[in-house]
Structure formats: structure tokens, C-alpha cells
Amino acid sequence: MTGNIEVQALLELITKSATEALDEYGKYGDSVPSVYETNTHPLDEHKMTLRLKKAIRNLEGACDQLCATLAPPLHTIVNRAQDYYWSCLRVAAQNRIADLLDNTTGGMNIESLAHESGIEPSKLRILMRTLAARHCFQEVSHDVYANTRLSLVLHSQSSHTSYIDLLTKEGQESAGNFQKYLSDNEYSQCNDSTHTVFTHAVKDTGFHGTVYDWMKVHGDRRAVMSSSMPSMNNVMGTLSIIEGYPWEKISTVCDVGCGNGSFVWSLLQKFPQIHVTLFDLNETLEAAKQAAGCLAQELQSHIHFQPGDFFKDSLPKSVDIYYLRNIIHNWPDNDVLTILGSIKNAMGPQSRILIHDYTMHSFQNKSPHHSLDQAPWPMLPDFGNGSMRLHYQDLTMLFMYNSKERTLEEVENLSQNAGLKLEQIMDLGETTVLEFGPA
């Protein structure tokens, strides 16, 4: 089969997916704003709708495959190997370039921007040209730059700057150390959480322990990690589960490893009949208690805070739903079995566990689980570049925790060993919710 037929099919997929995305924007506003505007659209901060998320997944996968098909192979590989864009994003965020431009009308010239930011003008010019080439900032006239919808994500008042900070520091430091780590058999042949790519990168400082131990020593970075979680959940489309599960039938929920509790606030506002237990380490719950103050008083009365360690302490008994979001991917298999076993011991006959995480899709067309979406031909069944963040997250778990994002079969095998059975699969476009009951 020639590539011509594949190219035509990809073009049709691109048109179809873009049209579906336009339709979703139309439901929340008059039209799609230009990438060069700075006005926000309701979908910019709204939880991304499931239909939009799936349309973008197809669009990104099809566009990338189209370029990889038509461009010479060397062209594509060099572009990927020479991608320093993350470094420019970090510099712009750390030096508050978006903030400085936000205070101007019509943009700011390089000399003035250099003076305000403290970056040498010729180097700043290269930085800004690079970022503007992919629509993060725009050159409105010669050497005069202004914000765009994308660059405003880097604004210091944005809720997402901590996540950008985390990804472009610990994440990239680990990535740069990956080959060196793999060549060190003492570390690379060990699968525990003290011998990770990241802990290998910092071992010359005298540190030994897990990334959590490192965060305890470096409180500023721990704060960055904690404050980045809402942004991570936003980009994952975490709140889609609120629309995709029959919460109206639920009375009690335990959010296991709840973090700052952000999921629960949204859940209670839509389903105020639910009573929630937030279960996490005591120091984490302190932040959740402060955040709970934003809720109406009657909803606050529906929240119980239970400090505990899911490796050692008992969870509340016979709760309707035990909800785990972005939890098991942080831990190796043996630790996951401990967590699931602890919950299994607390469950009642009608209790359910919801594991809400990334789930690795198969590259093969024949999947035993038909509830997971598969991309249309000629795309890779796992949507290729449309699910690339899933693969990056898989690497992040390896780098930081010696863990991984698991396939559905891997999660199901672990759950069976913990005395659980899979009841339902919900594909939410980027993440997956797996419902388990007692076996």
C-alpha cells in the first residue's frame, strides 16, 4: 500500500477532528479566539470537554503522522533531537517575561524588556524569537514583543507556573542523566525507589533516599511539586470523571492520597449529598484543610480529614467509593499491592475502588479490552503523538520513582492479586478510570 492513500486518509481525519473541535468551542463561546489574542475563552480554564479532548487527540496524532510521512526521515529526527523549547519556556517563566509584557500596551521592545528582566539583549532576542516561532509570545513589529494566549500560561499569576517549573527542572535534569544512569549497573539494575534516574543525578551531593526524601530536605521544591498538582490534573482532564460516573447514587467517598483535596471540592459542589473522607499524611492534610475554607459551610460539614499512611494505617471502613487519582503510578508493584490490599481490607461488599490514572494503550489493533478507544486507520492504535503526554508521563514515573504508567492488563493483574475484580472501564480521552469491586 502506498503512502498516498495514508496521506489522504490523514487529511480527512484532520478536517473531521478540527470540525469537531470547532463545534465544541461554539458551545461555550461565539468562536475560537486567535492564538495571538489574549482574551480567554471559557474552555481555556473550563475542564476540557470529553469530545474536545478526543478531537484534539486525533488531530495531534494525525498531524504528526502526516508530517512524519511527508518529510525526509532525517528532517524529522533532527527536529526532535534539537528541541530546546522547554529550556526557553523555563527562562521565560522564571524571569516573568509574560508579566512584564502584560503591563504594556502594544508590546515592549527588546532593549526595554532586557532592562526589566535582567537578561542581556542579544540573548533575550534569540529566546523570544524561538518562543514566538511556536506562538508563545508574538513579534508585533521589529524587535517588539507582546503576549499571546499561550504565553499567558507562563504568567506568575497563572495556576500553571509551578507545573512548568517542575517539568523543566527535576524532569529535564533526570532526562539529561538517563543514559548515564543506564550505564551504571548499581542503579539501573535496581528497581527500588531509592535508585531512580533522578536520585542518581543528585547522588554526588551525598544524598541517598527516595524523591520524597529529597523533597523533605528541599522544602522549596516540595512546595513547587505540591502546587503543581492542580495544573497537572487540569491538563489531564481529571474532572471529566465527575460527568462520567453515577455520583448521584453515592453517599460516601474516601479520597485516598487526596493531596490538597481539589477533586473533592468540585465533586461536592455538583453532588452535595456525598460525605467525603480525605486520607493523606498529616502535613498534606493541613494544606487541604486550608483549601476547604473556600467551600460553603454546609459542604464543609460533609468533609472528614483522616491523617494516615496507606502503607501502615487502616482506611475508613465500608465506604461506597475509594478514589485513587495519580497514586499507583508513583509506586513499584509490591507497594501497589500493599496499597490495594489495605483498601481491600477496609471495603464492604458493595464498595468500589476507582483508579483514575493514565493507562498505556497497545500499539496493536487487537486489544482484549474494547472499552479503550483505538485510533482510526491509518493512525497508530494508541493515537501516536495524540497520546504523547502519556508516554512522557511514563518516562517521568521511571525517572522519579522507578515506577511506570501501567497497561490495563498490568493493573488488572495487580488487582487480582489483591483480591479485586475489574467491573468497568471508562476512557476519558487522556486518562482512564478503572472500577474494581471485591472478588
pLDDT, tens digit (0-9, with 9 covering 90-100), for 293-332: 888 888 999 999 999 999 999 999 999 999 999 999 999 8
C-alpha cell at 207: 544524598
Picking from 289, 277, 285, the residue whose alpha carbon sits closest to that of residue 251 is 277
| 123: confidence class by pLDDT, cuts 50, 70, 90 | very high
Active site residues: 329
> Residue 255: pLDDT band by 50, 70, 90 thresholds?
very high
> Could you give phi then psi for residue 178, rounded to 5 degrees?
-60, -50
Length of the chain: 439
Q: Count CB atoms within 10 A of the CB of residue 285.
A: 21
Instruction: Give mean pLDDT, residues 361-388.
Output: 82
Give the model's pLDDT for residue 362. 76
Average pLDDT over residues 331-343: 94
CATH class of 97-154: mainly alpha
pLDDT score at 236:
86
Helix (H, G, I), strand (E, B), or coil: what is residue 207? coil
Q: Does the pLDDT at position 53 exceed 80?
A: yes
Contact between 364 and 409 (Cβ < 8 Å): no
pLDDT at residue 369, rounded to an integer? 53
Rounded to whole angstroms, the Cα distance separating 360 from 405 reads 6
Give the fold, CATH level 3, of 237-364+404-438: Rossmann fold (3.40.50)
| Reported pTM | 0.91
What is the predicted pLDDT for the residue at 260? 83
- Scan for cell 480527512, then name that residue: 12
72 vs 105, more confident: 72
Q: Dihedral angle at the C-alpha atoms of 236, 239, 244, 250, nearest 10 degrees? A: 140
Q: Is 413 helix (H, G, I), strand (E, B) or coil?
A: helix
Q: What is the Cα–Cα distance from 137 to 36, expressed in whole angstroms?
A: 8
CA distance 357 to 432: 6
pLDDT digits over 182-231, tens only? 999 999 999 989 999 999 999 999 999 999 999 999 999 988 988 888 88
- Report residue 73's pLDDT band, with 50, 70 and 90 as the boundaries: very high
